[in-house]
Homo-oligomer: A and B are copies of this chain.
Amino acid sequence: MLRGLTGAGLGKLEDERQLIELAGKFGFQAVDLDARALIEKYGEVEAKRLLEKHGVVVGSIGLPVEWRGTEEQFANGLKELSKSAEAAQKLGCTRCCTYILPSTDLKAAHFMALATRRLRECAVILGEYGLSLGLEFVGPHHLRTAWKNPFIWTMQETLDWIDAIGEPNVGLLLDAYHWYTNGMDASAIEALRKDQIVHVHINDAPDVPVEEALDNGRLYPGEGVIDLASFLKALQEIGYEGPVAQEILAAAPPQGTPEELAQRSKNGFDLVFEAAGLSVRA
């Protein structure tokens, strides 16, 4: 597994260059970022040099297409997808991820039909550029009723949706917070094949009843109550070798400089990876 960073949890960064530098400095091996923006700012050659210099790879890009809104919004986004995918490919990245809100103001079944076609279209385009599409189920209970109608939030529902989409390059983004808020344990991960997992997020939850854990109330790995040792051990058990990226969504910006927060993140990773019996680079 590769230790990974996203921008979430590091405070206000100047740009993606800083994310790469912090990752390198604190022993992370992967960063999730906007590959196209990086190349547009620095050029392909310099972007690659930056990554190489700091010893990090691009773990994942976000899906730059709004598939939850109108058909027009979707078609507009789709026009740009090839370019984002090509930029990711140039930087050696093979993952593109999006998340699934667990409720919707639309009629749930109709929206599922629309979204199935839309994500299938995205997957086909991503596939041309060697990228997989990771779908993140979202567990916090309050979001299940944040919009009018329940959508989907469990891993099994997401796996069934992946089957419905029907493209070979679609899989899960498995996030420790959603694993926890869905009340899952290690056995649920052990039942997966590693090729069903496109990407992994890690973060921690406060010591409140699980039903009250808020989506934007996340803690740094090791600072909360999630059994991250079991989470990581199960991933190791099934042979997962991709990135495990921290994503600390919080209501208020975290205190401290990016440097301090990256150090804090490193400490968290050290703690939970050690608890899982994993070496620095498992």
A112 within 8 A of B: yes
Among A125, A150, A164: residue with most chain B CB under 10 A: A164
A167 within 8 A of B: yes
Cβ–Cβ contact B110 & A121, under 8 A = no
User: A228-282: which have CB < 8 Å to B?
Assistant: 239
CA distance A79 to B81 in the complex (A): 8
CA distance A166 to B120 in the complex (A): 10
A215 within 8 A of B: no
Cβ–Cβ contact B110 & A152, under 8 A = yes
A82 within 8 A of B: yes
Cβ–Cβ contact A166 & B117, under 8 A = yes
Residues on B with beta carbons closer than 8 Å to the beta carbon of A108:
107-109, 112, 149-150
Among A81, A114, A160: residue with most chain B CB under 10 A: A160
Closest to A239 in B: B239
A116 within 8 A of B: yes
Residues on B with beta carbons closer than 8 Å to the beta carbon of A160:
110, 113-114, 117
